[in-house]
Structure 1
């Protein structure tokens, strides 16, 4: 074994270490017991880690060469690796130096190693061929360069071919033939030279041929060797590779990986430092820049070069980028000329697409005005001539549209998910495409996109439409911003805003719903004047949002205004006015203003009976709502016949099996439960649950409601074992359907906590009560009845545990909210008062 090495053998040892796969390198470091801090982190360039390892091995505290070589011999043949000087029959035709700023990509490099060297996948011909594919500027070439330097010891001959232009490709093959000194080489006969090189490759081994920028695979195919014991590595923007090579996708950089690269490239950090060496402020700004550039390595390299060149801070660059994005995307930086700027890279790719197919170019232009991820393909078919003439002609056929998408994806400007039938485009591609248009063109495309999205966004009043609403929602939000940016206003646009707001409202996403409702209202006022039935509807929807959040003082004037507007426009008796009366009464009921709510509900009922007849679904709904009011007041004897009448009417009008019938069964069962008539309530709850499951599927908000109601019935009876799984099922269903943060989810958490409390499982109840309270506070504001109820529930739990000092302030907060929102005489207010009095007596007792 070796105790010392010649300089030539030492060089070969370093090359060997550089060529080790990361997993083997880490095993070696672990076996040598290298102390923490000796080597740079795993995200550092591999060569820097090798250098640090060799310095430690040969240093006074290191393991010594013998220990290193003993371990290394388990991975490589040292006799061959370290024997003498570098052989003279090797060839190195690589035009790029190793990139000292290269960061990350370890998983991808391992995939390349596995595909080309380990032969662990696919057939023999595929084992030796790999292709790095992806968007221009994503880092394909730099990753190939890193692979070449890292694993150069695995090869005797490494050749680099530029393939962007045919002339470059032919010149590269000529250089290879000259370096190999091939017999018959004639630099003037380029086609013959290609044949000479291919035959040499097919007859020899341990070579690596890198064909860079092989975007036109049909043209490149004729230059590839058909066999041989070497490896072929391509970089390409092409999406479909067929049998040419094993495709390896080059993805955009993650936030931390990109931040580290930017900090190194801008010289804020040294080449071998990791993120921990940077200040929190610099890391935070770097991460923000990475997010804004969507992890595109070329853009980050460009930013780093510009920061270095102009002697800027990261924060200064970020401020400039936010205001001068298009301008900065053109700036390559004075010290970096190895790659075109982001703007030129994407602009040239787009021009190639446009030259080949006008419809594909139109499709890319449309994508530039949508959200960048998960773009539904049906949007392109809905343009009706508004999304470019060329695209409109072909988009009506799924087959021709799929062909156009493939052409648009040819240079990886977009990618397609065939499972979801959606497209993705990089944010900076969008930026460059928009910047190439004049303002009038931008407005024209934006207008067409808004109209197309409106056509594919369905009504959210039906739950079965929710998957499609969710599919388009992000793009509808972008459309709302386009309306603002380009001054777009139309009744179709206002309807899209209203529909999207309604969907978010149903999802409990109130913060997202409110600006859309407000924008729809303002747009309709601009288009239709201050008094129009559509504006009354907008006011009604916005008021409903405020009511759901407990913002009763804001909701009431809107509901009153909507009612007065419709009365003025439609007369005193109209179905829309009945709806307004019903909604205003609902607000009063929620506030405990029962005396004001009742005449409005009665008036709405009578108006519907007069206008729609005695037997109509809207009449049944009014009966149901009046019964709800009576139930809240404890007027059970008056509520029951109304519930029964509404149920019978729904059954007669809608059929025995209908979602509305299931809701009516639920309501009647709830009344029986409140009266302690459990034996009558249970079959109705079960019937409502089974009907909802049959009509709406096993997973639906109404099914979750039925599960919850049945569980609470069991809980009231002390049948805890039967109740708990139903409550858990309802909770999980609501979380899945409505998201992790929704008022109904908070209600489920609260009900499950109550079950645990009743069983004395206080430790399990408390975190659920706390979570429900925090969720209500976040979603509904600080003064909503549900928050007061949660405070009261948590206080009762503390009371049961003797934690009086913690319970008292919660009771006081709950009481203050109920008194302010519902009034002094409301039953909820009185309940909290009693709870507080009981607590105070306990505190006074010795």
Structure 2
């Protein structure tokens, strides 16, 4: 046998597919330059696998690389490697080109060895294996030592053991738009960019579109309209001159090969085609055997899932990373369009069930809903869009759209939430009737959205519609509606009604989930907040401490509901004037929520507000002001300027300034706050009452007694509309107003001062322990009034009665 020979003529370039020359080729210069750098700087590896989905331009890239850097090689040889027969034929053909003693009558192995020996003995050569999808096949052609370079193109990304894999991505959108305009001969940058996005920047699809537009003389806008109407049907037309197949055909061929090798893998692919193309969670697809609705579903463990992923990745039909999957939007269109209508509906039902199973794992906490939603929302949106388009509006679709509405509400995307809920309600009414039980959750969800937006009249109307449906049905989730309606009643100061609905919610939750469930604990927390508003602080403390113990048993020490309990405990201790404990719980809540939600979350804003109030109570005004300002800054990221929460934030900034002695500045903030609340609550509110009282106290500090009395009287009158006669907040207002009356030294006002001081004293004696500082304060105010009246008889008797607490 003859030894290795050299090429007789330098710069031999054989089998190069020059028909691939494309004058419109754009956007890949950087990739080609990087590829050349890889090829000539690799120390141990000389084999490079350029992989990517069909139609992404792998073959074109290698052709352009050869055109650019052909002078770096003495020999370039191109081979088709779709299957072993073609590859062997071309490889032995190289031996004939090299004038090696190839003998057709000898064993193929001998001829192969001749070519491999030549390659092992020579340098400065480049072999191209085009469309090689089987890494094992490559081993057939490798010499003992690879002294030249090998480029191969493949849909299969699994080359790590045999070559250096280099993934070719989609074309940059700007270059895609440029290509479309050059190829079609139509200049319209905006439409070109829009069309490039619709086609997912896939070069083969761009080529087909450009060819169609050129041939039909339509505009880019016309093509967009036709594509939106016909989708994948349009992509079957106009086979590119430099590619054997259309986008549809190459995809169908890949699906046929998958169907032959692992047909069950198509179950995964079909399901993915009804989801958003990017970041599809892998764990969405693994379902255990207990779900009877998925009896024939094949993916029951991660091992099966991974085997399907491997098969689909071999053809670059999908991409995968550690936690998620993705597929090109055009592949999705083609896969869906290739399914019979009955299979489309069956697949959509499967997808809706998979999504429902994932969302049902949330325990209704804001953290769990927002965390799950962040991963699932794009897929929920896409799947429910398909449900609407296919008129497949099932209970599962309703539940998923309701979950979407919850997510958008909790992330303060109120417009999106309203759109989702209203679309759901409209479709249910049209498809299933206005009395359908499935409307309860969308009505309640939309009502809660308006509650969060402080549009309480709209919220009330929607809750009433939900409650009417509950009264006619056997709904098992009425506890949630009762609970949220209770929050609305609490917010609008309808305390007796709120108590009724919280109790009903507790009964429903205990029946459905048990006394120690998260749902029951959260409703109990809302009931405790009501008790605090009713001045029943000890009972509220008891419930909140029980809640924390239960939650710690369920979730350890860090959970959003535990943070909420700490917020309410802080409020309870504030009511009891135990300010050190108030601050302690407020700091615990803030630290926990920052860790769970991040520093810019609305819950963190609420925590900052509560901590600021605790610091005010301890006369730490500068630090309090800093927390109030931080709270305001966070909330303005999510809320409009006329939201009642913003009114609270402005009021508390004013409170800090007032305590710092900047009374006129404080009044400016109080007035802004009052204006927002008067607009939101035309019939009055406790918040507006607080702001009236605050304005009055600021005027009091400025010595403007007439203005002080005016605002304090308005505030007290409004408080009396909402509080019982023995509420401790009324006692505070009685003291403030009585003090202003004393400042006038007028007999009429002094009589009123004595009356109000006595009322405050009676409330505090009823609510607080003997000797409490507030009782002492009320007594001292009363003594001042008696002294100003020169009523020494009452002065002496009062002094005698309370001498023990005055010393």
**Structures share fold, TM-score greater than 0.5:** yes
Contact 2:502-2:526 at 8 Å conserved across structures: no
Q: Which residue of 2 aligns with 1:62?
A: none
Q: Which residue of 1 aligns with 2:461?
A: 557
Query: What is the deviation of 1:543?
Result: 0.9
Pick which of 492-501 and 668-677 moved more: 668-677
Query: Secondary structure of 2:496's partner?
Result: helix
Is the alpha carbon distance of 1:698 and 1:261 closer, same or farther for their aligned partners in structure 2, counting shifts above 3 Å? closer
Is the alpha carbon distance of 1:655 and 1:484 closer, same or farther for their aligned partners in structure 2, counting shifts above 3 Å? closer
Contact 2:624-2:656 at 8 Å conserved across structures: no
Please, which runs of 5 or more residues in structure 1 have no aligned partner? 1-85, 270-281, 728-749, 755-767, 842-846
Contact 2:548-2:565 at 8 Å conserved across structures: no
CA–CA separation in structure 1 for the residues paired with 2:290 and 2:478:
39
Q: Which residue of 2 aligns with 1:775?
A: 638
Q: 1:683 aligns with which of 584, 589, 594?
A: 584
Q: 2:11 aligns with which of 90, 93, 103?
A: 90
Q: 1:369 aligns with which of 258, 271, 274?
A: 274
Contact 1:158-1:209 at 8 Å conserved across structures: yes
Q: Which residue of 2 aligns with 1:736?
A: none
Q: 2:351 aligns with which of 431, 440, 449?
A: 449
CA–CA separation in structure 1 for the residues paired with 2:319 and 2:419:
32
CA–CA separation in structure 2 for the residues paired with 1:262 and 1:797:
62
CA–CA separation in structure 2 for the residues paired with 1:628 and 1:621:
11
Query: Secondary structure of 1:224's partner?
Result: coil
Q: 2:28 aligns with which of 93, 105, 108?
A: 105
CA–CA separation in structure 1 for the residues paired with 2:223 and 2:506:
67
Q: 2:182 aligns with which of 219, 240, 264?
A: 264
Is the alpha carbon distance of 1:379 and 1:221 closer, same or farther for their aligned partners in structure 2, counting shifts above 3 Å? same
CA–CA separation in structure 2 for the residues paired with 1:796 and 1:688:
22
Q: 1:157 aligns with which of 75, 88, 108?
A: 75
Give CA-to-partner distance per residue, 1:580-617, whole Å, 9 cap, x none: 56543532443xx43xx12202434666799999x978
Query: Secondary structure of 1:208's partner?
Result: strand
Is the alpha carbon distance of 1:822 and 1:390 closer, same or farther for their aligned partners in structure 2, counting shifts above 3 Å? closer
Contact 1:546-1:555 at 8 Å conserved across structures: yes
Q: Which residue of 2 aligns with 1:752?
A: 630
Query: Secondary structure of 1:99's partner?
Result: coil
Query: Is residue 548 from structure 1 mapped to residue 445 from structure 2 by the alignment?
Result: no
Query: Secondary structure of 1:358's partner?
Result: coil
| Residues 395-410 of structure 1 mapped to structure 2, 5 A cutoff | 395-410=299-314
Query: Secondary structure of 2:376's partner?
Result: helix
Q: 1:378 aligns with which of 283, 305, 308?
A: 283
Contact 2:237-2:246 at 8 Å conserved across structures: yes
Query: What is the deviation of 1:185?
Result: 5.7
| Residues 707-726 of structure 1 mapped to structure 2, 5 A cutoff | 709-710=610-611, 713-714=614-615, 717=618, 719=620
Q: 2:567 aligns with which of 663, 666, 672?
A: 666
Is the alpha carbon distance of 1:345 and 1:541 closer, same or farther for their aligned partners in structure 2, counting shifts above 3 Å? same
Query: Is residue 430 from structure 1 mapped to residue 353 from structure 2 by the alignment?
Result: no
CA–CA separation in structure 1 for the residues paired with 2:582 and 2:621:
17
Is the alpha carbon distance of 1:642 and 1:530 closer, same or farther for their aligned partners in structure 2, counting shifts above 3 Å? farther
Query: Is residue 584 from structure 1 mapped to residue 584 from structure 2 by the alignment?
Result: no
Give CA-to-partner distance per residue, 1:688-719, whole Å, 9 cap, x none: 56888999999998788656643553466565
Contact 2:370-2:411 at 8 Å conserved across structures: no
Is the alpha carbon distance of 1:723 and 1:787 closer, same or farther for their aligned partners in structure 2, counting shifts above 3 Å? closer
CA–CA separation in structure 2 for the residues paired with 1:607 and 1:95:
77
Q: 2:222 aligns with which of 316, 335, 350?
A: 316
CA–CA separation in structure 1 for the residues paired with 2:122 and 2:189:
49
Give CA-to-partner distance per residue, 1:403-435, whole Å, 9 cap, x none: 222112211101221x21x21111111111112
Q: Which has the larger radius of gyration?
A: 2
Query: Secondary structure of 1:478's partner?
Result: helix
Query: What is the deviation of 1:355?
Result: 1.4
Contact 1:366-1:387 at 8 Å conserved across structures: no
Give CA-to-partner distance per residue, 1:166-200, whole Å, 9 cap, x none: 44334433543343222346599866544433222
Give CA-to-partner distance per residue, 1:219-240, whole Å, 9 cap, x none: 3431233324211000011121
Is the alpha carbon distance of 1:623 and 1:598 closer, same or farther for their aligned partners in structure 2, counting shifts above 3 Å? farther
Query: Secondary structure of 2:152's partner?
Result: strand
Q: 1:328 aligns with which of 222, 225, 234?
A: 234
Q: Which residue of 2 aligns with 1:473?
A: 377
CA–CA separation in structure 2 for the residues paired with 1:412 and 1:367:
14
Give TM-score scaled by structure 1 length.
Answer: 0.69
Is the alpha carbon distance of 1:587 and 1:605 closer, same or farther for their aligned partners in structure 2, counting shifts above 3 Å? closer
Query: Is residue 239 from structure 1 mapped to residue 124 from structure 2 by the alignment?
Result: no
Query: Is residue 176 from structure 1 mapped to residue 94 from structure 2 by the alignment?
Result: yes
Query: What is the deviation of 1:287?
Result: 1.9
Is the alpha carbon distance of 1:828 and 1:202 closer, same or farther for their aligned partners in structure 2, counting shifts above 3 Å? same
Q: Which residue of 2 aligns with 1:502?
A: 406
